[in-house]
Structure 1
Amino acid sequence: MTEKILASWKDGPARQAIVDFVTAVTTPGPAFVEPADRIATFDNDGTLWVEQPLPPQFDFVFRTWAQEVKDDPSLASQQPYKALIERDPDFFAGLGSQDPKVVETLLEAFTRSWAGTTPEEFDAQVREWTGTAKHPKLDVPYRELVYRPMLELFELLQANGFRVFVCSGGGRDFMRVLAEDTWGILKENVIGSAAAYTYADGKLVRSRELLGSLDLGSGKPEHIFAHTGRLPVFAGGNADVDIEMLQSARFALLVNHDDDEREFSYTRGAEASLAKAAESGWAVVSMKNDWATVF
């Protein structure tokens, strides 16, 4: 390992715990992990990029739904369109904390909105959004709000034989558009909630059905195992919906949003995970104290 690894990380317990663990599992001895089993999984929203005031995918989705309500006003009485129009505070609080019931409602509507589209059509819409949409507070494109320290962590793990996966409750196909250019991982290394596809007349099209369960809570290790045939050795998250994934790994890293100058400071939706981290000895990353650079 060189002095340049984790360059945006300040010296401290979190950085040292990462380096010590990677050294241990790649050095012959009692903690050694065979390369085939070196699986690392990370949540996306709030772990790899900003999730306040709302996860970025919902900026993309809400623009589409606003147009749908304009085209069909009867949708205004249905959820989640009704909550969006009325700016229902409980709905948005549930979205910010990734409440499974709220997320499920959104994803069901999401599958309806894009049912019948091909992967190419959907990808083109996401790419158009990434080229124009900006964060409402930070006023820069969302793709510029990926955490540099986490990308450096990806590089460290990959250099030591880990296969890195993103495992999020957000839309798998949305994240896949970003994966290769933004995170430097292949599309097939993205695990998330997804619509089922059908193949007919020589092309794939999205259906109105969700593919399996939501990728939240216990769904995360379930999806990871279904995708890889293994549970992670290293896992990173930032919220209560990541607890089960973090518990399933030998090394758990929890990002704590406590930097209201460079990003945001909040614990809503992370209270249980912070308590579990203290109880279980997980490595907790203070954005304020552990990261010299955020974006």
Structure 2
Amino acid sequence: MAGSVLPSWNEGPAKQAIVDFVAGAITPGDDFVEVADRIAAFDNDGTLWSEQPLPPQFDFVFRKWGEEVKANPALAQVEPYKGLLAHDMSFLAGVATQDPEAISTLFAAFSRSWAGTTPEVFDAEVRVWLQTVKQPKFGVPYIDLIYKPMLELIEYLTANKFRVFVCSGGGRDFMRAFAEEAWGINKENVIGTAAEYTYVDGGIVRGEQVLGGLDIGPGKPEHIFAQTGRLPIIAGGNADVDIEMLESARFAVIIQHDDDTREFEYTAGAERAFTRAAELGWTVVSVKNDWNVVYGKGLA
């Protein structure tokens, strides 16, 4: 069976572990999982698409803030604008590794930037960014850097009656703008850090507050349970901020970024996660060794 599914995955222990787990979950027996409980949850940045040199949403946000600083130069003395304009490497490193303090500062400013706008306005801005901005290393739109093997895994799980959710520390509404066309996942199956909304004069507008806290660390299983009433049976991630979500699942997959030719090679922000993987026997997926294709657009 393994040879006929997940064609972008090389034959080996990682692929076999996934296929064996799914087979056990759908076959009557000790490992069987009722259809209602077949919940799969995957991180986005670094798990479903490339997150280097920074998670793509920050490219989108930083461009917006550049425009705001031009309109109001006083913002240049306020964080996070100040750190960005000064190219503060410690601040940017915290962004890259999704340090909670750095992310809190960013999302506070992020919420202010779009407060009072409608979802339609925000979606339109995201779509323009997706169509016009290119990732610096590969020179293609960020949407082209979704991992083909992970799309195949989503399709494989869906075909076996799993409900697949994306659970990311990134902005929920940012991901919802492209979730259906990029992943084949309905908007309601996207979980992430979210702004509050208010119903005003027949429509919905964004507020300034973050709804339910950041979707990182323990926030991930908490938000998954809040949305589904269940914890995931299978979960996938790549970083320290995914540890709690991976711990909450029966079967955990962690992506190892070790291919600097076809993608990126790095370990920053994932050291504790791989220690935990060794302790708990999570399935480690090597980009270099387990994927014969990385991106769906045929990029070298």
TM-score (norm 2): 0.97
- Partner Cα separation in structure 2 for residue 107 and residue 100 of structure 1: 10
Instruction: Kindly provide the amino acid, as one letter, of the partner of residue 133 in structure 1.
Output: V
Alignment correspondent of 1:282: 282
Residues 115-130 of structure 1 aligned to structure 2 (within 5 Å): 115-130=115-130
Secondary structure of the residue aligned to 1:214 is coil
Alignment correspondent of 1:108: 108
Residues 139-154 of structure 1 aligned to structure 2 (within 5 Å): 139-154=139-154
Alignment correspondent of 1:32: 32
Alignment correspondent of 1:76: 76
Instruction: Kindly provide the amino acid, as one letter, of the partner of residue 32 in structure 1.
Output: F
Instruction: Kindly provide the amino acid, as one letter, of the partner of residue 222 in structure 1.
Output: E
Q: Would the aligned equivalents of 2:2 and 2:15 in 1 still touch at CA under 8 Å?
A: no
- Partner Cα separation in structure 1 for residue 241 and residue 190 of structure 2: 17
Alignment correspondent of 1:17: 17
- Partner Cα separation in structure 2 for residue 46 and residue 200 of structure 1: 37
Secondary structure of the residue aligned to 1:259 is coil
Alignment correspondent of 2:263: 263
**Per-residue Cα deviation, 1:108-156 (whole angstroms, up to 9, x for no partner):** 1000000000000000000010010100111111010000000000011
Instruction: Kindly provide the amino acid, as one letter, of the partner of residue 229 in structure 2.
Output: G
Are residues 1:206 and 2:206 paired? yes
Secondary structure of the residue aligned to 2:166 is strand
Residue 185 of structure 1, CA deviation: 0.5
Q: Percent identity?
A: 66
**Per-residue Cα deviation, 1:33-73 (whole angstroms, up to 9, x for no partner):** 00000000000000000000000001100000000000000
Alignment correspondent of 2:163: 163
**Per-residue Cα deviation, 1:4-41 (whole angstroms, up to 9, x for no partner):** 31000000110000000000010000110000000000
**Per-residue Cα deviation, 1:184-242 (whole angstroms, up to 9, x for no partner):** 01000000000000001111000011101100000000000000000000000000000
Secondary structure of the residue aligned to 2:277 is helix
Are residues 1:242 and 2:277 paired? no
- Partner Cα separation in structure 2 for residue 271 and residue 188 of structure 1: 32
Instruction: Kindly provide the amino acid, as one letter, of the partner of residue 22 in structure 2.
Output: V
Secondary structure of the residue aligned to 1:169 is strand
- Partner Cα separation in structure 2 for residue 169 and residue 254 of structure 1: 16
- Partner Cα separation in structure 2 for residue 126 and residue 256 of structure 1: 28
Alignment correspondent of 2:47: 47
Instruction: Kindly provide the amino acid, as one letter, of the partner of residue 253 in structure 2.
Output: L
Instruction: Kindly provide the amino acid, as one letter, of the partner of residue 262 in structure 2.
Output: R
- Partner Cα separation in structure 1 for residue 145 and residue 260 of structure 2: 15
Q: Would the aligned equivalents of 2:2 and 2:16 in 1 still touch at CA under 8 Å?
A: no
Residue 178 of structure 1, CA deviation: 1.2
Are residues 1:191 and 2:229 paired? no
Unaligned runs of 5+ in 1: none
| CA-atom RMSD in angstroms | 0.7
User: Matched residue pairs, number?
Assistant: 295
Instruction: Kindly provide the amino acid, as one letter, of the partner of residue 37 in structure 1.
Output: D
Runs of 4+ in 1 over 2 A off after TM superposition: 1-4
- Partner Cα separation in structure 2 for residue 274 and residue 139 of structure 1: 31
Instruction: Kindly provide the amino acid, as one letter, of the partner of residue 244 in structure 2.
Output: E
Unaligned runs of 5+ in 2: 296-300
Instruction: Kindly provide the amino acid, as one letter, of the partner of residue 210 in structure 1.
Output: V
Residue 2 of structure 1, CA deviation: 7.2
Instruction: Kindly provide the amino acid, as one letter, of the partner of residue 161 in structure 1.
Output: K
